[in-house]
Structure 1
Amino acid sequence: MTHPISLGLDFGTESVRAILVDSTGKQHAAVAVPYADGQITSSLPGDTKPLPPHYALQSPQDWIDSASQATRAAMAEAGIAASRVIGVGVDFTSCTMLPTTRDGTPLCELESFRRTPLAWPKLWKHHGAVTQTERLNEVAIERNESFLNRYGGTIGLEWFFPKLLETIEGAPEVAAAAEVWLEAGDWFVWQLVGGPAESLTRSTCQAGYKAMWSADDGYPSQQYFKAVSPELAAAVENCLPGVMRSPGERAGALRDTMAERLGLNPGTAVSTAIIDAHAAVPGVGAGDPGTLVMVMGTSSCHMLNSETLADIPGVAGVVEGGILSGMYGYETGQAAVGDAFAWLRNLLGLKSFDSLADAAMGLPPGAEGVTCLDWMNGCRTPLMDGNLRGAFTGLGLHHSGEHLYLAMLEASAFGLRWIIELLREGGVEINRLIATGGLPHHNRAFIEIYADVVGTEIEIHPSTQATAVGAAVLGMIAAGSDASGFSEISAAAAALGAAPPEQFDVVHARPDRTSEYNDLYRRYRSLAAAVAGGL
């Protein structure tokens, strides 16, 4: 029997991964292709003029080219006919967003805007909209806007409307030319299926977590946006066309031109997009409430499904059905994890941490007096402040690289403990922790510290492709039950993403170290309060 296959396209910060998974969960191929221009942080492609600080852009052509290469390579590796692929699912970094014309052409691809940075897609980690974020928050607080309750009381620096307002104020000529503003995940799905702007699919996941949208109220009111900026209000009213659909809902069928590029059949079902980290929840088969799924890579995102709705200060968002239908999806996160480690490695002049890891793990908890705040890219949860910066304290002449390394690992673990305490204090149950992404498989000692600091066991899911598998789950659902055999995301997630208990690497907390970390955690919180301004 030949089982139907779904293609998952996982768009990360540096590359896109194409994975082919059949309805039994068998992975036939997985191929990653880096973006030619990578993260555009120093200057635009073909230009030498430096970009302003805190800019992080990308090229939409890279997304198309890399996805095409990855899909064709995966199909060749698997040796399967295109007719076996019944659906395509897409996950994407968020909020990564861009302005386009009415036909979907990115403004950065027009000759008149090629050298205008704010015409290019702003990557999720773009932090140029500081003053705009402050203004959006000030007005929301002044007006006592109720939508703030769903986002822990704060609009995030990395979100949709701060980046839109940044362009209005920083490059008005771009804003005037923009006919459509949308998330990159929605743009890519639009490219796959085609059609007019009025019918393009917008993901309720992306809009719910990054653009303050809700099924009950839609976007914030025009009165709010006008109080912030009349130009912003006009953009929201006129430049956000489309139809809201949930991840897994069919966005359309693969059009001829993109089918040819990908090496698939025209008419193949295409799912509505999902935020990359959120895709990991179905990707590890975590369909039950109370399971915290930690996707650990460049940054870390922690997703939790719950039957409880709570307004919790500092939580990056809670959206009904935002991750899986029938439950409230909570998102929290840490803005720099792998990025912070890479920064430290480069600072120390190392090619890898191999030479330091053993020495660092041989140190006692607390790195012999060194404490770190790993806010090198701001603090997401719980402070929601992209302007905050990291610190090392307690340094002496006897300390060396391994002390800095251990202190940074501990800081990340302390941040996770803070997040867990925040959710539990808000009345949201957490009874299981699953780690996935690249870091847990490459650095088990990191997860050991996490377990010690939190004081509970952490399960490392055996798959290194959870987000891509999650995207494939959505492709199965979009294809329909007649083609896939699945009518519910939870059933598809269990079949494609779940693993038997014996395949998990379970990391247990060591009670003696947990006891020591209780005191060190209090020291970390005191330092955090001092650096953040006496919280």
Structure 2
Amino acid sequence: MTAVALGLDFGTESVRALLADAAGTERGTAEAAYEHGQILRSLPGSDRPLPPRFALQCPRDWLDAAAVAVRAALAEAGLDPREVVGVGVDFTSCTMLPTTADGTPLCELPRFADQPHAWPKLWKHHGAVEQTARMNRIATERDEPFLKRYGGIIGLEWLQPKMLEAIEDAPEVAAAADVWLEGGDWFVWQLVGGPAEELPRSTCQAGYKALWSATEGYPSDAYFAAVHPGLAEAVRTKLPGRKLAPGQVAGRLTEQRAAALGLPAGIAVSAAVIDAHAAVPGVGAAGPGALVMVMGTSSCHMLNATEERFVPGLAGVVEGGILPDLFGYETGQAAVGDAFDWLRTLLGQDSFEAMAAAAAELPPGAEGVRCLDWFNGCRTPLMDGALRGTFSGLSLHAGPGHLYRALSEASACGLRWIVELLREGGVPIDRLIAAGGLPHHNRALVQVYADVLGEPIDVHPARQAPALGAAILGMVAAGRFDTVAATIEAMAAPVPAEARVEPDPHAAALYQSVYADYRRLAETFAPTAARQTS
């Protein structure tokens, strides 16, 4: 009987189920939307507006949508469910929730159904602005050693700031919470069961979004107490569980969840992984040195290495954060695809084609028009969501093509800055791989990236790299291959020669001055921070 693994890719609006066999052949796939989608305006059944910057979800949606998607994928594949040997799960992060000791979300208890802080806070929830600022200020004043793993900045979207927000704004919810955990860990816990003390927590989610490290654990009790005594108590007592790297066995599928999903009970379930990070095994990056760029509305760049280096401006470095036995580095750009869509809307364009065609007629450098692409803040290297973007060098001659090309070049310059930071910090990069929807739909943008960096970029053929990566991790958990690397090499398709985008030497030379202009703009709009990462 053929061995097949299931990958569950939990996004912001829906979940995708992908079934892949041991050769990496996609056997079936299906997507199911969450009934409540993103809860942004009011809670289900309520007309009371949510506070500003809130973004919530319904945990029951995750279970229900997964059941629909898995059954549909099995039907499309025509598989005997007994062929499925393992399950992998990737999830948006940091999406988090409070539960009772048995894993019941507090929002499912009648007394908390109308309390927003009892519901899962989606990754994009930005309600903890003041709490994040205070945590950063106190960590900096105390010269906390954990900051060096995160480029000196705690992120607004991370676990402890969201916990502290509830502790201060909804103390009755915080008091009732026995467990705080990520949505990905909660879903895996539902799949495998067990007491809270043994729930499987992903080193990926804990490391990048909850300030945890394999050598030091969480930051000190003294630090959290300096921020808020209630936060210190919560970290001490309400983050139970086992830390497991993606691909390690979290447990076995319970009878209850097997019946809901239409799968055999007892199959292996992998520890969860952050959705973008799942693309690393999905594109075949089994070892160190490959920078995997998942390019969509924003971009997340992941890299594995054999050594831990602390690089200013990095979003995080975590041992076992992406794959076991390697140090995973994360960087990112806060606005890529959504910046292009914003520009299209701003200019009243019905599609990208006309702008792209006009941009293609222009030489590198967009005839002097320059852009700083911080239209949703700067993630790497400055980790500052308050920063803003700009266009400069405009004249009456400039049109939509100039703006489009300048924005493309700015996005590429932002990536070059990230690559230079990593290499200067002693983290090797020997290959660039592009994944996600944007590189498949916008080859011209990838060419600009290659020209600005002066290096080739491989566009991986996988259209659903995170879902495939989750399936690969499910196969790793099932133990069908001797090593993680062997599993990835067997299941992830290689990049064909024609998918490599080579830099144009003439354009690469011209882009040297464009990149210098980009760095000068960064110095102008964020002088202190820009100098710290130079």
| Aligned residue number for residue 246 of structure 2 | 247
* 1:474 shift after superposition: 1.2
| Aligned residue number for residue 513 of structure 1 | 507
| Aligned residue number for residue 144 of structure 1 | 143
* Cα distance in 2, alignment partners of residues 78 and 91 from structure 1: 21
* 1:331 shift after superposition: 0.9
Q: 1:63 aligns to what SS in structure 2?
A: helix
Residue 494 of structure 2 corresponds to residue 495 of structure 1: no
Residue 274 of structure 2 corresponds to residue 279 of structure 1: no
Q: 1:87 aligns to what SS in structure 2?
A: strand
* Cα distance in 2, alignment partners of residues 197 and 78 from structure 1: 35
In the alignment, is the contact (CA less than 8 A) between 1:286 and 1:498 conserved in 2? no
* 1:117 shift after superposition: 2.7
* Cα distance in 2, alignment partners of residues 372 and 42 from structure 1: 33
* Cα distance in 2, alignment partners of residues 48 and 529 from structure 1: 46
- Cα 1:159–1:400 shift into 2, 3 Å: same
| Aligned residue number for residue 418 of structure 1 | 417
* Cα distance in 2, alignment partners of residues 171 and 516 from structure 1: 55
- Cα 1:37–1:517 shift into 2, 3 Å: farther
* 1:533 shift after superposition: 4.0
Cα distance per residue 1:368-425 (max 9 Å; x no partner): 3333332233211100112223333334444333333222222211110010010011
Residue 526 of structure 2 corresponds to residue 527 of structure 1: no
In the alignment, is the contact (CA less than 8 A) between 1:290 and 1:432 conserved in 2? yes
Structure 1 segment 223-372 matched on structure 2, within 5 A: 223-372=222-371
Cα distance per residue 1:149-198 (max 9 Å; x no partner): 21112212221111111222232232222221101110110111122212
| Aligned residue number for residue 117 of structure 1 | 116
Residue 152 of structure 2 corresponds to residue 153 of structure 1: yes
In the alignment, is the contact (CA less than 8 A) between 1:368 and 1:403 conserved in 2? yes
Q: 1:519 aligns to what SS in structure 2?
A: helix
- Cα 1:173–1:339 shift into 2, 3 Å: farther
In the alignment, is the contact (CA less than 8 A) between 2:358 and 2:400 conserved in 1? no
In the alignment, is the contact (CA less than 8 A) between 1:130 and 1:387 conserved in 2? no
* Cα distance in 2, alignment partners of residues 47 and 326 from structure 1: 47
Q: Give the TM-score, by structure 2 length.
A: 0.95
Cα distance per residue 1:50-99 (max 9 Å; x no partner): 44443332222222222111111110000001100001000111111111
Structure 1 segment 450-469 matched on structure 2, within 5 A: 450-469=449-468
In the alignment, is the contact (CA less than 8 A) between 1:41 and 1:55 conserved in 2? yes
* Cα distance in 2, alignment partners of residues 218 and 91 from structure 1: 23
| Aligned residue number for residue 132 of structure 1 | 131
* 1:492 shift after superposition: 0.5
* Cα distance in 2, alignment partners of residues 367 and 53 from structure 1: 39
* Cα distance in 2, alignment partners of residues 43 and 399 from structure 1: 43
Larger deviation, residues 185-194 vs 59-68: 59-68
In the alignment, is the contact (CA less than 8 A) between 2:299 and 2:335 conserved in 1? yes
- Cα 1:63–1:346 shift into 2, 3 Å: farther
Amino acid at match of 1:491: A
In the alignment, is the contact (CA less than 8 A) between 1:157 and 1:385 conserved in 2? no
* Cα distance in 2, alignment partners of residues 57 and 390 from structure 1: 28
* Cα distance in 1, alignment partners of residues 193 and 449 from structure 2: 45
Larger deviation, residues 259-268 vs 427-436: 259-268
| Aligned residue number for residue 183 of structure 1 | 182
* Cα distance in 1, alignment partners of residues 525 and 109 from structure 2: 44
- Cα 1:396–1:64 shift into 2, 3 Å: farther
* 1:444 shift after superposition: 0.9
Structure 1 segment 40-79 matched on structure 2, within 5 A: 40-79=39-78
Q: 2:318 aligns to what SS in structure 1?
A: strand
Structure 1 segment 428-467 matched on structure 2, within 5 A: 428-467=427-466
* 1:253 shift after superposition: 1.4
* 1:133 shift after superposition: 1.5
Cα distance per residue 1:195-234 (max 9 Å; x no partner): 2212111011111111111111211111111011101011
* Cα distance in 1, alignment partners of residues 469 and 179 from structure 2: 28
Q: Give the TM-score, by structure 1 length.
A: 0.94
In the alignment, is the contact (CA less than 8 A) between 1:282 and 1:489 conserved in 2? no
* Cα distance in 2, alignment partners of residues 411 and 291 from structure 1: 22
Amino acid at match of 1:306: A
* Cα distance in 2, alignment partners of residues 465 and 377 from structure 1: 25
* 1:514 shift after superposition: 1.6
Cα distance per residue 1:120-160 (max 9 Å; x no partner): 22222222222211211121122221111211122122211
Larger deviation, residues 10-19 vs 35-44: 35-44
* Cα distance in 2, alignment partners of residues 165 and 391 from structure 1: 34
Amino acid at match of 2:516: R
Q: 1:325 aligns to what SS in structure 2?
A: coil
In the alignment, is the contact (CA less than 8 A) between 1:378 and 1:387 conserved in 2? yes
Q: 2:125 aligns to what SS in structure 1?
A: coil
Larger deviation, residues 405-414 vs 20-29: 405-414
* 1:365 shift after superposition: 2.5
| Aligned residue number for residue 214 of structure 1 | 213
Two-structure CA RMSD over aligned residues (Å): 1.8
* Cα distance in 1, alignment partners of residues 189 and 351 from structure 2: 40
* 1:250 shift after superposition: 1.1
* Cα distance in 1, alignment partners of residues 370 and 109 from structure 2: 49
Q: 1:188 aligns to what SS in structure 2?
A: helix
In the alignment, is the contact (CA less than 8 A) between 2:461 and 2:495 conserved in 1? no
* Cα distance in 1, alignment partners of residues 525 and 410 from structure 2: 14
* 1:500 shift after superposition: 5.3
Q: 2:188 aligns to what SS in structure 1?
A: helix
Q: 2:458 aligns to what SS in structure 1?
A: strand
Q: Which runs of 5+ in 2 are unaligned?
A: none
Larger deviation, residues 86-95 vs 513-522: 513-522
The number of equivalent residue pairs is 529
In the alignment, is the contact (CA less than 8 A) between 2:300 and 2:333 conserved in 1? yes
Q: 2:204 aligns to what SS in structure 1?
A: helix
In the alignment, is the contact (CA less than 8 A) between 1:375 and 1:390 conserved in 2? yes
Residue 88 of structure 2 corresponds to residue 94 of structure 1: no
* Cα distance in 1, alignment partners of residues 418 and 256 from structure 2: 45
* 1:14 shift after superposition: 2.7
Q: 1:430 aligns to what SS in structure 2?
A: coil
Residue 31 of structure 2 corresponds to residue 36 of structure 1: no
Q: 2:86 aligns to what SS in structure 1?
A: strand
Amino acid at match of 2:65: S
Amino acid at match of 1:45: P
Cα distance per residue 1:251-275 (max 9 Å; x no partner): 1111222212211112221111011
In the alignment, is the contact (CA less than 8 A) between 2:245 and 2:323 conserved in 1? no
* Cα distance in 1, alignment partners of residues 369 and 174 from structure 2: 47
* 1:313 shift after superposition: 0.4
- Cα 1:322–1:192 shift into 2, 3 Å: same
